[in-house]
Amino acid sequence: MRDHTVTIDRSTSPSTITYADNFNVAVSFIDRHLDEGRADKIAIYPVGGDPVTYGDLAKNVNRAGNGLTALGLSAGDRVLMMVKDSAHFYFLFWGAIKAGFVPVPINTLLRAKDYQFMIEDSGCAAVIYSPEFAGEVEPALEAANPKPAYYFRTEGNGKTLVGLMADAGNDLDTASATPETPCFWLYSSGTTGTPKGAIHLHRDMVVTSEQYGLRTLGITEDDICFSAAKLFFAYGLGNGMTFPLWVGASAVLYPGPPMPDATFDTIENYKPTIFFGVPTLYGAQLKALAETNRDLSSLRVCVSAGEALPADIFNRWKEKTNTIILDGIGSTEALHIFISNLEGDYKAGTSGRMVPGYDARIIGDDGEEVAPGDSGQLMIRGQSTASHYWNNPEKTASTMVDGWLNTGDTYIQDEDGYYLYCGRNDDMLKVGGIWCSPFEIEAKLIEHPKVLEAAIVGREDDENLTKPEAFIVLNDPVDANDDTKGTLLTHCKEGLAKYKYPRWINFVDELPKTATGKIQRFKLR
């Protein structure tokens, strides 16, 4: 095989992937398209900006890589990027990889103290950020000790990425690497503790793009992908960048907050064929669609991840838009979705079946695989999982065990073989000695037309026994009264096992959530 190439055999399931010994993944995702005649095809539609062809993309990736090299970075140096969804994100990410540096996309919704932690923890050589995030990034740089050698904005006055690229050449030698060389990091979202840098290898994006993007979702060159989840999430990175690039398709990038109206405008204007969202957004979009009609007819399929998609949202979306939402579970450590529904094989309310190339085990308290139909800890194995956490041998040892990744989730494989999410291990409740899934109660409450969102946490009763407590956001705040409480209690008692109804109901204006939109139940406890 030539240097930096990969061969794929699709006659097998999973696809059989063979890498050149000297393999830099930037060649597969960027340069390959020039050889395959796509130089004039649009790779990126930045909303409000000029489209970027595959030819422009390859050239600008080279310029960014040359610019970073000219700064004086050394092989393996980390480049933290707080960059909005834009063509610059692509240029910087791939330019760094092709030149032998390690990009670290960072959540742009965080605060200065989070950034300071990541700057110090990563020991990065450079921090490059969109001007929009200067208000949080610059105080972090000010406070950081040690400071990175280089830090500047993507665009604007003074030293910038744009300036660096303008002074750089169009040709760049590809840095040597192997499929197992560290390629990029992602900080895990840290619902419970400090963020951990998950180290991903050159092969990881190939695996997710091939086994999930192509084989599971069936993305083709003719698709246009639009991800409401941002590129700095592992979920968005696949949806909005690596999956379309892998097959020579196109991505629509929206730089702002993904509110329902903005996502609808983007869909109407750019006519994407695949939309990637999260359950909370689908819920908010459905609420908006009750008042206005929007043309979503370009969509052939939608995807949901990040938290379990309630069957009720699946059903209402299907009724309203005539498209299905494929729920799948992924994680930062696995890089993308490893259990998923398919267009031709789905079951609402479940995460679906294994993605080709991944294995799962559901483990009981005794460390052994549980009997079919019983719940336990979900462990998964695949070729895209992070090799380790940066500077965190204890977390690495407890999460990555003998090649298996402990997801931290409780799952059941149902009688039809679909994987059913039962909650985070730490969120599961024992009620009357029986496991009780907070998610199941929430899904029941959300079914009710008066309920917008709901969260269930464990609360101790007079006898110090844990019982479920509900925090509910109503569609209309005027319903916050005892009548509604009674209605919702009856609704739960009718639809759930007896012990599962919420013993307390609180109406709240909003639920505490992580930047990724997951409910922070620990804050409610």
Find all residues with CB under 8 Å of 278, minimum gap 6, and list them.
228, 229, 304, 305, 306, 307, 516, 517
Q: Does 516 bind ligand 3UK (CB under 6 A)?
A: yes
Q: DSSP class of residue 183?
A: E
Q: How many other C-beta atoms are found inside a 10 Å radius of the C-beta of residue 283?
A: 21
Binder to ligand 3UK among 305, 400, 445, 519 (CB under 6 A)?
305
Q: Does 408 bind ligand 3UK (CB under 6 A)?
A: yes
CB of 513 to ligand 3UK, least distance (A): 12
Is the Cβ of residue 210 or residue 327 nearer to ligand 3UK in the bound state?
Answer: 327
CA distances from 382 to 14, 244, 441 (A): 11, 21, 32
**Binding segment (CB under 6 A) for ligand 3UK, from list 31-39, 120-128, 327-335, 397-405:** 327-335
**Binding segment (CB under 6 A) for ligand 3UK, from list 49-57, 129-137, 144-152, 303-311:** 303-311
CB of 102 to ligand 3UK, least distance (A): 18
Q: Does 341 bind ligand 3UK (CB under 6 A)?
A: no
What is the three-class DSSP state of 237? Answer: helix
- Cβ atoms 514, 189 nearer than 8 A: yes
Is the Cβ of residue 168 or residue 370 nearer to ligand 3UK in the bound state?
Answer: 370
> What string of DSSP letters covers 7-28?
EEETTSSSPEEEE-SS--HHII
**Binding segment (CB under 6 A) for ligand 3UK, from list 73-81, 107-115, 301-309, 505-513:** 301-309
Residue 431 pairs with which residues in a beta bridge? 434
Binder to ligand 3UK among 60, 174, 189, 285 (CB under 6 A)?
189
Binder to ligand 3UK among 104, 329, 362, 524 (CB under 6 A)?
329
Binder to ligand 3UK among 100, 240, 283, 330 (CB under 6 A)?
330
Amino acid letter for position 182: P
What is the total count of residues that contact ligand 3UK (CB under 6 A)? 23
57's enclosing H/E stretch is: helix 54-71
**Binding segment (CB under 6 A) for ligand 3UK, from list 96-104, 258-266, 305-313, 459-467:** 305-313
- Which parts of 475-514 interact with ligand 3UK (CB under 6 A)? none
Is the Cβ of residue 160 or residue 280 nearer to ligand 3UK in the bound state?
Answer: 280
Binding mask 1-30 for ligand 3UK (x = CB under 6 A): ------------------------------
**Torsion angles phi and psi, residue 363, rounded to 5:** -110, 135
Q: Does 274 bind ligand 3UK (CB under 6 A)?
A: no
- Cβ atoms 141, 119 nearer than 8 A: yes
Q: Does 347 bind ligand 3UK (CB under 6 A)?
A: no
Nearest to 405 by CA among 353, 339, 350: 339
* Sequence-ordered alpha helix ranges (H) in 228-343: 234-237, 243-247, 260-270, 279-289, 311-321
Residue 33: both structure tokens together: 């398209």
353's enclosing H/E stretch is: strand 353-354
Binding mask 234-263 for ligand 3UK (x = CB under 6 A): xx----------------------------
Find all residues with CB under 8 Å of 366, minimum gap 6, and list them.
none
Is the Cβ of residue 27 or residue 217 nearer to ligand 3UK in the bound state?
Answer: 217
Q: How far apart are CA 138 and CA 277, in angstroms?
A: 30
Please give the residue whose beta carbon sits closest to ligand 3UK in the complex.
Answer: 330
* Measured torsion, CA atoms of residues 231, 232, 234, 238, in degrees rounded to the nearest 10: 20
Q: Which residues bind ligand 3UK (CB under 6 A)?
A: 188-189, 234-235, 305-308, 327-332, 336-337, 351, 407-409, 421, 424, 516
